[in-house]
Amino acid sequence: MTSLFAQEIRLSKSHEEIVAQRLKLLQQMKSKLVDQNKEKASQIQAAETAFKRNLSLLKDMEATEKSLQTQTHPRPLPEVASLETLYWASVEEYIPKWEQFLLGRAPYPIGIENQNEAENTI
């Protein structure tokens, strides 16, 4: 009977060691989980900060691009803009006449004296 009692004591001590080791492992797992959550929160914060920084940089680049475009393509003087408008109005007015001439359906659209000059140049 003493051997059963000694075996019971030995099993009890072994059980206590196993429970203590389990508790230690559970505490380590909990600590690791807390550390992982902190790291994840830190990474999320860093990602949000980087996103805001990138958005700000993108806006700055767009503003710089717009600024450079206005510097490289300044608006023409009002006189030049007026002349350009008159030129294109004249072109649009003569397009139907020239179109018919180029298709061979009408005579030279400007006049007889210009037709001779045109033939000499050709």
- State the pLDDT at residue 122: 57
- Whole-number pLDDT of residue 10: 94
> What is the distance between the alpha carbons of residues 53 and 72, in angstroms, rounded to a whole number?
28
What is residue 119's predicted lDDT score, i.e. its pLDDT?
A: 59
User: Percentage of the chain with pLDDT > 70?
Assistant: 89
pTM of the model: 0.45
Q: What span, in angstroms and rounded, lies between the C-alpha atoms of 98 and 52? A: 58
Average of pLDDT values for 1-29?
93
Q: Where are the domains of the chain?
A: 1-74, 76-122
pLDDT digits (tens, 9 = 90+) for 69-82: 877 767 778 888 89
Can you tell me the distance from the alpha carbon of 87 to that of 108, in angstroms, rounded to the nearest whole number? 20
What mean pLDDT do residues 17-46 have? 97
